[in-house]
Amino acid sequence: MGISVIGAGLAAIGAGLGIGLIGGKAMEAIARQPEAQGKIQSSALILAALIEAVALFAIVVSLIK
């Protein structure tokens, strides 16, 4: 139980970092080029979803005893 909780926490930290980076860069890009907002937004969402998938893998693995 203890170790799996640490694993889940680490996965959350990693995913948070990744999604934060994507979000930050997307914001900068939108600020620089507001007309490209739609495209940037949808690709940022897809990238966040991909990171989320990796994080969820980690969490699922950490839950398996």
Partner 1 sequence: MKRFILSILTLLFTVNLALASGGEKHSEEFNPTETAMHHVKDSHQFDIWGHDLTIHLPIILWTENGLVTFSSKEFHGDDSGEVIVEKNGMKFTKFHEKIYYANSKKNDQGDYITESAKIVHLDDQHHPINKKPWDFSITKNVFSMWLSLILLLVVAISAGRFYKTSKYKGVPKGAAKVIEPLVVFVRDDIAIPNIGEKKYKKYMPYLLTVFFFVWLNNVMGLIPFFPFGANLTGNIAVTCTLAVFTFIITTFSGNKNYWKHIFWAPGVPVPMKIFLAPIELIGMFTKPFSLMVRLFANITAGHIIILSLVSLIFVFKSYLVAPASIIAVVFISVIEILVTALQAYIFTTLSALYFGMATEEHHEEH
Rounded to a whole number of angstroms, the minimum distance from the CB of residue 31 to partner 1 is: 22
The mark string for 20-59 relative to partner 1 (x by CB under 8 A, - otherwise) is ------------------x---x--xx--xx-xx--xx-x
| Residue with Cβ nearer partner 1 (33 or 42) | 42
61 is a site residue for partner 1 (CB under 8 A): no
Per the CB < 8 A criterion, the answer to whether 4 and 58 are in contact is no
Distance CA 62, CA 32 (A): 40
Q: Where are the alpha helices (DSSP H) in 1-65?
A: 2-32, 37-63
